[in-house]
Each structure stands twice: as C-alpha cells, then as structure tokens.
Structure 1
Amino acid sequence: MRTTPLAAGPHPSVADRLLDGLASAITERGYRDSTVADVVRYARTSKRTFYEQFASKEECLIEMLRRNHSDLIAGIGAAVEPEADWRLQIDKAVGAYIDHISARPAITLCWIREAPGLGAAARPLHRLVMGDLTDLLVSLTGNPGFRRAGLDPITAPVALILVGGLRELTALFVEDERDVHGIAAPAVAAATALVSAG
C-alpha cells in the first residue's frame, strides 16, 4: 500500500514531517507495530523533537487522522457542483471519496479499524468525522440540483447509515487489497436509493 503525504506545500513544518512519518510507518508496519523511533526515522528528526510536538504516538495519530479527514471533506466539497444534476453530484462525491482513500489506503484502514481501539482519546475525533460526513451529505442533498428534481435532503440518521455502510465496505476492500474503485457502483446505488426514498 502506498500513502500520499499529508503535508502540503514545498516547506512542511516539523509537525507535518512527523505526521507524514507516522503515515509512512503505518503504511510499512501498521499502526500497532509502528514506534516513535519509526516515525522520527521517516521524518528525519529526533525523538526529542517528536515529544516537543506530540505527547504520544496516539496524539500524533489523532492529529494525522484529523487532517486526513479535513482533506477528505474538502475534496468531496470541491468535486461537487451544486447546480449539476443530482445523479451526477452523487457520482462526483463518490468519485472524490474513492480518489482520497485510494491515495491513502493505510491511513483509511487505520481510521476505520485502529482508531476505535484508542478508546476515549479518539472518541471526539470519531464524533467529529461522522458528524462532518453526515452534515456534508445532508447539505449536498439539499442543494439546487437535488431541489430541482423535487428531492428532499436526507436526514442526519439516514446519512449516518450511508456513511457507516460505506466505511465498512471500504475497510473490507482495503483489507483484501482489492481495487477500491470496486465500491463505486454499490456506493452510488445505495446513495441513489436512499435519496430517492425520501
């Protein structure tokens, strides 16, 4: 699995380099087997520098996943044209999601499988991610393209069901090292059915 760096721009900060170091370690060894020593080796810095930025490997992971999540939300938002036909909007949103996870499969799997194991420390991140994704779906389905078709926005509980199902399907594809583009058809079909049922 290959992971696209999280750091943006030609001059990443120390924290950016450490986050990318963790991403590289996760890609190579998985989160549980990765150590702070692995992170600083990839980041080409020291443990002292690491602990000046993060209190622990877990804190570094939570920040990495938070940034990854922000990138995902921004990517989906940028891909969708609110005035376009609603079916095209669904295709574009699913496509942006797949582009994101295919660039960072190890991070995606870590978010789905490993982060819940952090317990209370990761709970605020989990609620943020799920809340932002459901809010995004509710907002997207309330835009002009959907309204022109006479469709009501989906509710937050329905959006959560869609996000949860897509999340699990994504994990299965990544774990089995299958091409994640294979989730496109079922994701589009599920989203279309849920939107139309409203």
Structure 2
Amino acid sequence: MTASINSVIDSEHRVRLLQAMAALAGARGYAGITIADIVREAGVSKRTFYEHFDGKEACFLALYRAASGAALRVLREAVSADKPWQLQVESALSSYFAHMAADPQVLKMLFVEIHQLGEPGALLRREVMQQMVDFMLSTVQPGNGPVPGAAPVVLTPTMAMAAVGGINELILQAIEQGMAGDLPRLTPTASALIRALAQAEVPDL
C-alpha cells in the first residue's frame, strides 16, 4: 500500500491489516482469502482484527475507501489554476495514472476485486465515481484557467460520468492485458475523451 494511503490511517495495526488485505486480494482475489489469512499476513491476532473491523468485507471496503481517497487527492493536487482547464485535466490524469500504476495490488483491488462485494461494493464504487465526476465538473468549466477566446465548455454531469466510466474501462482493459504498469500511456486518450465530451479543443497558447 502506498505511503499516501498510510498517511490517512492513524493506527499501526489498522495499516498492517489493510496492507495485508491489499496484498492478499491482489494475489488471490477477495473470495480466496479468509480473516485467518489476513491476520497471519499482518502479524496480528484475530482479536486485534475485530478491534478494527466487523469482518472481511468491512476491511476490504475500508481499504477501497482509503485507496480511492488517496487517488482523488492526487488528481486534485495536480491541478494548476494558472493553466487552461484542458492542460489541468491532462496534468491531473497523468499524475493519477502514474499513482495507480505504482501499486498493482491496490489497482487490482480498486478495479477488479470490488465487484466481488455485491451491493456494498457497488454503492461505494458509485460514491467514488461521483467524486471523480465532481472533480471533472469543477475543473472543466469556462473561466477555469486563462483561455482567451475559447469556445463555451459544455460538460454536463451525464457526460462527466460517461468520461469517468470510459476511463475506468481503459484502466480495466490495461489490467486484463497485463499492462497495468503502463497506465500513464492512457493520458492522451483519456484527455481527448474529456475534451470531446466537453466539446472543446486544445487551446493555442
């Protein structure tokens, strides 16, 4: 698990349990692990596990929320308000893809194993997707960055969700093709997708 995720967790044992969940879910899949596996990997007792989580599902969902939160922070921190929004989006996506590619176990958990959790997983996944939509809507807008003479931007919430869904599918395809480490190569395609949905061109600077 990345340091950026660790920084939002205030318990050493909780960190170790989430690290163990990430490693095991990435290697075996969520369905193939037990609480006994998790505590063995983390080097803690079952009692310690239950001090932090009600069960395996709660542990996995906590990991998903922490990892997603770290990825979203990377997106937001990569935005530079002195650039046109098109370049802000490209910079943010480049940082986001690099962040995700750096931890294949967490990447698989976020995009593959979450589907094993049924409705609780689907609800949390939708929550995170909406946060990404909100990020896009706040970044892709007229006046966000100096773009003299730029055409009006038209990015609706529906189109923003389409962009998020498309980017997620690109990431999933890369995982399935064994190319998770090459996620940054998706930056031009993902940026072009957002520009197309926003009906905007790259500005001339």
How does the TM-score come out when normalised to structure 1? 0.87
CA distance in 2, matches of 1:152, 1:182: 26
CA distance in 1, matches of 2:194, 2:167: 10
For structure 2, list consecutive stretches of 5 or more residues without a partner in the other structure. none
Contact 2:21 2:38 in 1 (8 A): yes
Deviations 1:148-182 (A, max 9, x none): 53442511110100100110110110122112223
Deviations 1:28-66 (A, max 9, x none): 322222222222223221122112211111110111000
Deviating more after overlay: 108-117 vs 46-55: 108-117
Residue identity in the other structure for 1:132: Q
**Structure 1 partner of 2:178:** 177
**Structure 1 partner of 2:124:** 125
Task: Report how far residue 12 of structure 1 moved.
Answer: 4.7
**Structure 2 partner of 1:109:** 108
Contact 1:87 1:192 in 2 (8 A): yes
Task: Report how far residue 120 of structure 1 moved.
Answer: 2.1
Residue identity in the other structure for 1:113: V
For structure 1, list consecutive stretches of 5 or more residues without a partner in the other structure. none
Contact 2:151 2:200 in 1 (8 A): no
Task: Report how far residue 124 of structure 1 moved.
Answer: 2.9
How does the TM-score come out when normalised to structure 2? 0.84
CA distance in 1, matches of 2:15, 2:50: 14
**Structure 1 partner of 2:191:** 188
SS of 1:191's equivalent in the other structure is helix
Q: In structure 2, do the counterparts of structure 1 residues 115 and 11 end up closer, same or farther at CA, with 3 Å as the change threshold?
A: closer
Counterpart mapping for 1:1-198 below 5 A: 4=2, 6-8=5-7, 12-142=11-141, 144-145=144-145, 148=148, 149-152=150-153, 154-178=155-179, 179-196=182-199
Q: In structure 2, do the counterparts of structure 1 residues 10 and 114 end up closer, same or farther at CA, with 3 Å as the change threshold?
A: closer
Residue identity in the other structure for 2:192: A
Q: CA RMSD in A?
A: 2.4
Equivalent pairs: percent with the same residue? 31
SS of 2:178's equivalent in the other structure is coil
Task: Report how far residue 7 of structure 1 moved.
Answer: 1.3
Residue identity in the other structure for 2:125: H
Contact 1:90 1:192 in 2 (8 A): no
CA distance in 2, matches of 1:95, 1:54: 34
Query: What count of residue pairs does the alignment treat as equivalent?
Result: 196
